[in-house]
Structure 1
Amino acid sequence: MFSFLKRTASVAADSTAKALRMDGLQGWRQELPMLSLKTKEDLAGWALGCDKDIGGFSSASLDLDPSQNVARFHGELSTDLPANPEIQQSGYAAIRSKARASSMFGTPCWDTSLFRYLSLRVRGDDRKYFVNIQTDGVIQTDLYQHRLFLRTPGEWETVMIPFRDFILTNNGMIQEQQIEMFREKVKTVGISLMDKKNGPFSIEIEKISAMNTEFTEGDMDRLP
C-alpha cells in the first residue's frame, strides 16, 4: 500500500511539474524516448517467453552484450509439438516491456499521438520478426502488430514504422474489425518471432522511441 501511495504521489508531482512547464504547449518534438536496452537495470523491465513455457522445445534468452552494452534477444526455435494433444501449433519466442507499476491515476503509458513513427535501433538476422504494441484498452489480449523489416541483416539500422500501419490482432489472429490504435495510451512494446522456421535466431536492440522526421508532426505533414 505504501509503495502504491508513493507512486501516486510521484505521478501527481510529475503532472504538476508538467503543467507548470506547460509541456502541452511546447509544440513539435522529433523524439519521445520510450525504452533503452543498454544496462542490466533496463533489461529487468522486460518479460521473456517462448513455447517452452507450454511444453515446447524452443529456447530464448534476453541478455546484455558486454562488448556493446546493448540487449540481445536470441535462442533457437523449434516447431516440434509437445505431448499435449490440445496444442496444435508451436515454435515461437517473444519479449515485451513490462507494464509500469500503477498508481491511483492508473498505469503510466506513453502518449505517442504527436509522433508518426515507432523507431527501433536494431541489428538482426534474416528471420521474420514482428513488433507488438499493447495499449491501455479494455481487451488486454489485443495487440497491434507490424512486421519488423530489416534491410541490412547483420548491420545496425534504424527501422521506422508508421503507427497507422499497425494491424489489430488478438491471440495472433488479425481482427476483421480494425480499431484505430489508442496512441495516447501505449502500455507495452515487444518483439516476437513465429516464422515456423527451425533454427537459431538473434537480434540486438539498443533503443525504442516514438519519432517524427523534420517534415512530420504526428499524422500531419509539416511545411518545409
Structure 2
Amino acid sequence: MIIPIATLLITPAAGDMLVTDFSNQHQLRWQIVNDTVMGGRSSASFVEENNEAIFRGNLSLENYGGFASIRAAIKPINKAASKVAITVKGDGRDYQLRLYSRLYSGQVSYRHMFTTTEEYQTIMLPMDAFIATYRGRLLTELDPIAWQQVIGVGFMLADKKPGDFALTIKDIRFMP
C-alpha cells in the first residue's frame, strides 16, 4: 500500500538535521542487504559520487527472493523531528525509506513507501506515518518510531517487479 505524500522542493532550514548529503564520501558506512541472505538472487551496488549516491541493481523473484536494500547507522538525532525529507530521483518504482530503532537493536524497521520519478524531487515523510515491520511482516502493535529512537536509515526495493532498478539519493534530513 502506498501512503499518499506531499512532494515539494524545499530549501534546508536552520532547524534541519542533515543525515547526509554525500558531499563528503563515506560520511556513513552503507551496507547492502539483499534477499541473498535467504537464498534469493537479487543484486545491488551502492556508489557515492558527485555529491550523490546511486543504489542500483537487479531485483529477482527467483528462489523466493524479491528485495534489495541498503542501510547505515547514524548518529543520534539531537533535535526534535517530525518528518524526514529525502531528495531523490528514480525510475518510477516504489521504494521504501526505512528507519531503525534503538529499542529493537535494528531488528525492527519502520518503513514508509514513496514513488520515484526521473526528476529530482524532495519528499517529506511524516515520522508518525512510518509502519513497523519485521522481515516483511507488519507489526501493528508497536508504537510509531520517535525521533529519539532512530539509530539507522535505509532504502529498500521490494515491489515484486523483477528487473533493473536505480535510485539516486541527493540528501536525507530530519526536520522539525
TM-score (normalizing by structure 1): 0.67
- Is contact 1:39-1:64 (8 Å) kept? no
More helix by share: 1
Matched, 1:71 2:53: yes
CA offset digits 1:18-56 (Å, max 9, x no partner)? xxxxxxxxxx953111123234323x6111121234432
Greater RCO (Cα-Cα under 8 Å, separation 6 or more): 2
- Is contact 2:82-2:147 (8 Å) kept? no
Look up the SS of the partner of 1:40 in the other structure: coil
- The residue that corresponds to 1:92 in the other structure is 67
Return the letter of the residue paired with 1:55: G
Residues 51, 180 of structure 1: alpha-carbon distance in 2 compared, 3 angstrom cutoff: closer
- Is contact 1:131-1:145 (8 Å) kept? yes
Bigger Rg, structure 1 or 2 = 1
2:92 alignment partner, one of 110, 122, 126 = 126
- The residue that corresponds to 1:149 in the other structure is 115
TM-score (normalizing by structure 2): 0.84
1:121 deviation in Å? 1.0
- The residue that corresponds to 1:174 in the other structure is 138
In structure 1, how many angstroms separate the alpha carbons of the residues matched to 2:54 and 2:141?
35
Segments of structure 1 that go 5 or more residues without pairing to the other structure are 1-27, 82-88, 100-107, 213-224
1:182 deviation in Å? 3.0
- Is contact 2:98-2:156 (8 Å) kept? yes
Aligned identity (percent) is: 27
Matched, 1:59 2:23: no
How many residues were matched structurally?
164
Residues 170, 52 of structure 1: alpha-carbon distance in 2 compared, 3 angstrom cutoff: closer
Superposed structure 1 runs of 4+ greater than 4 Å apart: none
Segments of structure 2 that go 5 or more residues without pairing to the other structure are 1-12
More strand by share: 2
- Is contact 1:144-1:167 (8 Å) kept? yes
Aligned Cα root-mean-square deviation (Å)? 2.0
1:139 deviation in Å? 5.3
- Is contact 2:34-2:44 (8 Å) kept? yes
1:199 deviation in Å? 0.5
